[in-house]
Amino acid sequence: MCDMIPVARSMMPLLDEYVKEIEPLWESRHLTNAGVLHQRLQNELEKYLGVPHLTLFSNGHMALEAAIQAFGLRGEVITTPFTFASTTQAIVRCGLTPVFCDIDPETLTIDAGKIESLITSQTCAILPVHVYGNICDVEAIDDIAKRYGLRVIYDGAHAFGETLGDVPVGMFGDATMFSFHATKVFHTIEGGGMAYHDPAIGRKAEAIRNFGIYSADLEIEEIGGNAKLSEFHAAMGLCNLRHIEEEIYSRSGLAMAYRERLQNIPGLSLLRYREGVSCNNAYFPVVLEPGVFGETRDALQQRLMENGVISRKYFYPLTSAFDCYRGLFPIQDTPIAKTVSENVLALPIHSSIREADVKRICDIIRDGRL
C-alpha cells in the first residue's frame, strides 16, 4: 500500500548527515550518560526554545513524570481529559489523583473559567495541555495558580518552538514538557525535555533521570529511575534541528491550503488558534457537528481510508474514560470534551505531502456533506 497517505511521517536528515554526526562515537565510546552530543543538543534546544533551562529525557512521558516528582506534588491535579494517554497516566503513575476539567469548545484547551470550582484543599497543581499546539489561556491559569498557591506544569508535547506574542511557550508556568517522539514536529526518534525556571528543580530532575544519582560520589537522595537520552538520539536531534524551519514552513503552506478549502462548510469546524500563537502546524484537526455535516466522523474516516488517506481519531476516547481508572477516583463530567472527542478527526499534515494531496483530501471530505 505504498500509495496510502499517512497521518504523520517522521522527518529524517540525509543519511550522510546523520552518519557524520555519530562517527566520532566510534572513537570516544561515550554512548550515553550526558555525552558531548547530549550537551550540544541541550544547549541548542535551550536557545531554539528560548528557555533558561532544559533537561533532556528518554521521552516526553518520563520528562512529565520527573517534573511531577521534582516539584514534590501530592494530592489532586486539575487537568484536561482531552489529551493523549501520557498526560493522565503520568499523574496517576506518580500516585496523584487527576481531576478532570472541561475544555473550551473553540480552542480545545482547558477551560480556565472552570478550574476554580474544581479546587479543593487537596489540589496541588494544574496540568494543562497546549492541545494541537494551541497555547492555553496562560494568563488566567497563572492568575488562579498564584491566588491558590498551585504549581503549573504544562504538557507542551504539541507546542515545540511556539511563541505567544514574543514569549516562548516554554516560559509559562513552573515547567513545560516537550516530546521529541518520532511522530512530533521535531524529534530525536524517542526523546523529550522539561523546560523550567528554577535550577534546583533541574538538579532534582537530572537525578531522577539517572537512578537518583546526584553526582559521581554516589549520594542517593532521590527515588529515581532511568530516563536518559543516548548520544544516538541526540545526534538525530542535532540533525533534525538544522531542518526544523523548513519542516514548519512546509506545514504552514499545507495548513493554509486546508483552511482555504475547508472553511465555510456547514457542520465542519477548524481549530481556532489563540491570537498571537506562532503555530507549528503539528496537527490539522477538524471537528464535525453531528446532523449538520452529513457523515459521522467514523464514516468520514472510513471513506478517507478507502481513498488512501489515513486520519486519526485524536483524541478519542477521553482519558477519563479509560478502563484502568474505573473505581480508582471520581470521574468528573466534561460534556464539551466528550462531544469533541467523539467528532474530531486529525488529517495528514507533514512535509512529505503536497498541496495537491491536500486538495484531494478536501475534495473527499466535501463529498461527505449533506
Q: Which residues bind ligand PLP (CB under 6 A)?
A: 59-61, 83-84, 86-87, 129, 155, 157-158, 179, 181, 192
Nearest distance, CB of residue 301 and ligand PLP, angstroms: 19
When the beta carbons of 179 and 334 are compared against ligand PLP, the nearer one is 179
For the chain, the distance separating the N- and C-terminal CA atoms, rounded to the nearest angstrom, is 31
When the beta carbons of 92 and 364 are compared against ligand PLP, the nearer one is 92
When the beta carbons of 158 and 204 are compared against ligand PLP, the nearer one is 158
CA 98, chain centre distance (Å) = 18
When the beta carbons of 182 and 310 are compared against ligand PLP, the nearer one is 182
Nearest distance, CB of residue 294 and ligand PLP, angstroms: 30
Please report how many Cα atoms fall inside a 13 Å half-sphere around the Cα of residue 56, on the Cβ side. Answer: 30
Nearest distance, CB of residue 229 and ligand PLP, angstroms: 11
When the beta carbons of 255 and 365 are compared against ligand PLP, the nearer one is 255
Nearest distance, CB of residue 91 and ligand PLP, angstroms: 12
How far is 107 from 129, CA to CA, in rounded Å? 11
Residue 337: count other Cβ atoms within 10 Å of its Cβ.
27
249: its cell numbers: 514552513
When the beta carbons of 78 and 129 are compared against ligand PLP, the nearer one is 129
Residue 160: count other Cβ atoms within 10 Å of its Cβ.
25
How far is 78 from 98, CA to CA, in rounded Å? 6
How far is 91 from 98, CA to CA, in rounded Å? 6
DSSP assignment letter at 29:
-
Nearest distance, CB of residue 116 and ligand PLP, angstroms: 24
Geometric angle at alpha carbon 247, from 242 and 250, rounded to 5°: 145
When the beta carbons of 190 and 295 are compared against ligand PLP, the nearer one is 190
Residue showing the smallest CB distance to ligand PLP in the complex: 60
Nearest distance, CB of residue 190 and ligand PLP, angstroms: 7
Q: 330 in helix, strand or coil?
A: coil
When the beta carbons of 60 and 173 are compared against ligand PLP, the nearer one is 60
Task: Evaluate the omega torsion of the peptide bond into residue 317 and state whether it is cis, within 30 degrees of 0.
Answer: yes
Helices (H), 136-243: 138-148, 199-209, 231-242
The CA-atom distances, in angstroms, between 305 and each of 3, 90, 100, 188, 354 are 11, 32, 33, 29, 18
Nearest distance, CB of residue 62 and ligand PLP, angstroms: 7
Beta bridge partners of 76: 97, 123
When the beta carbons of 131 and 365 are compared against ligand PLP, the nearer one is 131
Q: CA torsion, points 200, 119, 319, 156, in degrees to nearest 10?
A: -40
Contact call for residues 71 and 199 (beta carbons, < 8 A):
no
Geometric angle at alpha carbon 225, from 223 and 227, rounded to 5°: 135
Nearest distance, CB of residue 89 and ligand PLP, angstroms: 9
Nearest distance, CB of residue 93 and ligand PLP, angstroms: 12
